[in-house]
Amino acid sequence: MARMYKSRKGKSGSSKPYVDEAPEWSNTDAKAVKNLIVELGKAGHSSAMIGTILRDQHAVPNVRLVLGQRIATVLAENSIGGTYPEDMMNLMRQAVGIINHLGSGNHKDLHNKRGLEITEAKIRRLANYYKAEGRLPSEWRYKRDELRLMVE
Task: Please compute the mean of the pLDDT values over residues 13-37 and round it to a whole number.
Answer: 89
Report the DSSP beta bridge partners of residue 2: 9
| C-alpha span between 42 and 78 (Å, rounded) | 10
Q: What are phi and psi of 78, to 5 degrees?
A: -100, 15
Write down the pLDDT at residue 41.
Answer: 93
Domain annotation covers residue 19: no
Residues 96, 66: one domain? no
Task: Write the CB contacts of 150 (distance below 8 Å, at least 6 apart in sequence).
Answer: 84, 92
Domain annotation covers residue 12: no
Percent of the chain whose pLDDT exceeds 70: 95
Write down the pLDDT at residue 5.
Answer: 61
User: Over the chain, what is the mean pLDDT?
Assistant: 90
Task: Write the CB contacts of 85 (distance below 8 Å, at least 6 apart in sequence).
Answer: 126, 130, 135
Residues 145, 128: one domain? yes
Residues 69, 37: one domain? yes
Domain that holds residue 147: 86-151
Residues 115, 70: one domain? no
Residues 55, 92: one domain? no
At which of 42, 60, 77 does a domain end?
A: 77
At which of 77, 111, 138 does a domain end?
A: 77
First to last CA, the chain: 34
pLDDT tens-digit series, residues 63-87: 999 999 999 999 999 988 878 889 9
Instruction: Return the number of other C-beta atoms located less than 10 Å from residue 28's C-beta.
Output: 16
pLDDT tens-digit series, residues 101-148: 999 999 999 999 999 999 999 999 999 999 999 999 999 999 999 888
